[in-house]
Amino acid sequence: MRHRVAGRKLGRDSEHRLAMQRNLVASLFEHERVSTTLEKAKEVRRFAERLITLAKKGDLAARRRAISLLGNNRDIIAYEEGAPVMKGTIVGKLFSEIAPRYLDRAGGYTRIVKLAMNRLGDNGQVVLLQLVGEEEGGKEQTKKSSNKRARRATAFAESVEKVKSGTAKAVEKDETAAAVAEKEVKKGQAAEAGEEQTESGDSAQQEENKE
């Protein structure tokens, strides 16, 4: 008899079952949602909410305890332009991003949404296990993306205005230089004309003196 025996075996031994729970919880904290079967989701939910409650303490002992329960502190890797980039760790995200959302909530950090599909092979019920408030995070992410696009558009407009102003200043400078050069040429021509008049007047006077 299974009196006072909590938990499901899930067709695995204890080590395999613990490894599966750790992997699913790490994926849940990384992506904030995970698709699995109903029975696994119910087991993983208990483990995940226990870790979130522990992370709400926020001290060093709680952080070490969380690493011990997860087995390791898995890295979060994202791919940017085809290259892997490290974005942090599972425990770091748990303590800095996930736990602060639920400081005013006494429990119920996750929800199970049944999907209209069954798994091929054993026809198991497939569900979506996600963190409560994950859709609000998506809205915030969309708002951040729109703000980023607006900043980019503003920066592009400012750069265009700078180019236009720089071109206008360059044209104005060229026009000013051309006007100054033209004035210098006119001054030179006037000086040459004055010298020619002076020379012609001197030559005329010399001829008069000879006569």
What is the DSSP secondary-structure string of 23-68? Answer: HHHHHHHHHSEEEEEHHHHHHHHHHHHHHHHHHTT-SHHHHHHHHH
Q: How confident is the model at residue 136 (pLDDT cuts 50, 70, 90)?
A: low
Q: How confident is the model at residue 137 (pLDDT cuts 50, 70, 90)?
A: very low
Domain assignment present for 138: no
Task: Of 109, 121, 122, 130, give the one whose Cα is nearest residue 24.
Answer: 130
Cα dihedral across residues 38, 39, 40, 41: positive or negative = positive
Domain assignment present for 28: yes
pLDDT of 172 strictly over 90: no
Q: Give the residue with greater pLDDT, 60 vs 78.
A: 60
CB 96 within 8 A of CB 103: no
Give the best-scoring range by mean pLDDT among 2-6, 25-29, 132-136, 145-149: 25-29
Q: Give the residue with greater pLDDT, 184 vs 174.
A: 184
pLDDT digits (tens, 9 = 90+) for 62-81: 999 999 999 988 888 888 88
pLDDT of 209 strictly over 70: no
Q: Give the residue with greater pLDDT, 186 vs 136.
A: 186
pLDDT of 171 strictly over 50: yes
Domain assignment present for 149: no
- Give the total number of structural domains in the chain: 1
Other C-beta atoms closer than 10 Å to the C-beta of 173 total 10
Residue 36 burial (10 A CB sphere; 0-12, 13-18, 19+): buried
Domain assignment present for 93: yes
Domain assignment present for 160: no
Range of the domain at 95: 14-132
pLDDT of 168 strictly over 80: no
Domain assignment present for 198: no
Domain assignment present for 52: yes
d(CA 26, CA 72) in angstroms, rounded, equals 10
pLDDT digits (tens, 9 = 90+) for 73-129: 888 888 888 888 888 999 999 999 999 999 999 999 999 999 998 988 889 999 999
**Residue 108 belongs to domain with CATH number:** 3.90.1030.10
Domain assignment present for 167: no
